[in-house]
Amino acid sequence: MLAPGYIDVQVNGGGGVLFNEDPTPEGIARIAAAHRKHGTVGLLPTLVTDAPQVMAAAIAGTREARQLNPATLGVHLEGPFLDPARKGAHELRYIRDLKPDDIATIAAANCGAVMLTLAPNRVDGASIAELARHGVLISLGHSNASYAEASAAVKAGAHAFTHLFNAMSAPAGREPGMVGAALDLDEAFVGIIADGHHVHEANLRIAFAAKRHDRFMLITDAMPPAAGGPDQFDLQGRRVTCAEGSLRLEDGTLAGSVLTMDEAVRFAVEVTEIELGDALAMASRVPATFLRRESELGRIAPGYLASLVHLDDDLHVLETWIEGRSSSGS
């Protein structure tokens, strides 16, 4: 089967490389090469919350990588403007409030798509609107925000929700929370980690039943062990270990995943029984639309880039092409 190549908007690393530790064109190329073996033709290298100088290096590295590697579609800054109450594996000492200088830096990134995950209960609507005016793709996550706060952020210009169900306020009887907002707000895109560790299978089925499928993006949230890396690595001085398919800090906190996009597609189809076409779209056409690249990527049609994946009957990757060039270079 020939399908549109996969697009992953949340890739912290892979093949033994962590973007935070190697935010260079070379590091990005190694991450992209590792995930290409699993059908990924485009990705956003993703920086978890870190020091300002690391963010600057990540933006600069992505800008240069864009000139060298067509798989680099931009950058995802996951933080540092998050809610400490929902920090997950993000390092508390780096979480901070958004300042005008930050808006200027992010707005001037000039490195393709710029996706920014922020907490809507920590960033005001005017700042969200200003970032959106500069083309920043704002995603809401790592937050205890209420439904009203999340809805106001979307109205101000936020576009998406980061890893649905994880590190966000859950629904209760009279408070839908971030999860409720993500599922209820029709136009908002939603990233979701379909690996069997981050989200219960029933919640996947509930989510896919509750919201239009053309707003779901399968993401990996991949870390260095994904796509052939070692089972352990250090995240800002903290040891992360892979055990039974999940990555965790020593205190048990989930710290990204070892997921690849081909695995995410297979899991979504097998566990939720959604149509294969919908699962493939969640891995290609939907993220292409979110990134405003829907006229170039995510379809097999005249005028589109030949960024494709060849799958066997069990949805395992046989070959990947990026802009017409195969994995073997032909």
Q: Report percent pLDDT > 70 for the chain.
A: 99
- Amino acid 79 reads G
Domain of 48 in residue numbering reads as: 2-326
Annotated binding residue at 254? yes
Positions of E strands within the chain: 2-4, 6-11, 13-14, 17-18, 40-48, 74-78, 113-118, 137-140, 160-161, 189-193, 216-219, 232-235, 238-243, 246-249, 308-311, 317-322, 325-326
* Residue 51 token pair: 């020091």
> What local confidence, expressed as pLDDT, does residue 278 receive?
98
Annotated binding residue at 172? no
The answer to whether residue 214 is catalytic is no
Look at the pTM and tell me if it is higher than 0.95: yes
> What local confidence, expressed as pLDDT, does residue 329 receive?
56
Annotated binding residue at 263? no
Neighbours of 328 (CB within 10 A): 8
Question: Looking at the predicted structure, is the pLDDT value of residue 64 above 60?
Answer: yes
* Residue 273 token pair: 């029984």
Q: What is the pLDDT of residues 194-234, one digit of tens each?
A: 999 999 999 999 999 999 999 999 999 999 999 999 999 99
Determine the Cα–Cα distance for residues 328 and 87; give it in Å rounded to an integer: 40
Determine the Cα–Cα distance for residues 134 and 10; give it in Å rounded to an integer: 21
Question: Looking at the predicted structure, is the pLDDT value of residue 323 above 90?
Answer: yes
Q: What is the CATH number of the domain that holds 28?
A: 3.20.20.140
Please give the C-alpha separations between residue 1 and each of 4, 7, 267, 285, in angstroms, as whole numbers. Answer: 10, 18, 18, 17
* Residue 35 token pair: 């995930």
For residue 231, the 8-state DSSP code is S
Q: Report percent pLDDT > 90 for the chain.
A: 98
Report strand pairing: 238-243 vs 113-118. Answer: unpaired
Annotated binding residue at 181? no
Q: How many domains does the chain have?
A: 1
Q: What is the pLDDT of residues 121-159, one digit of tens each?
A: 999 999 999 999 999 999 999 999 999 999 999 999 999
> What local confidence, expressed as pLDDT, does residue 330 receive?
53
Report the side by side order of strands in the sheet with 246-249: 232-235, 238-243, 246-249
For residue 82, the 8-state DSSP code is -
The single residue of 8, 22, 102, 221 carrying the catalytic annotation is: 221
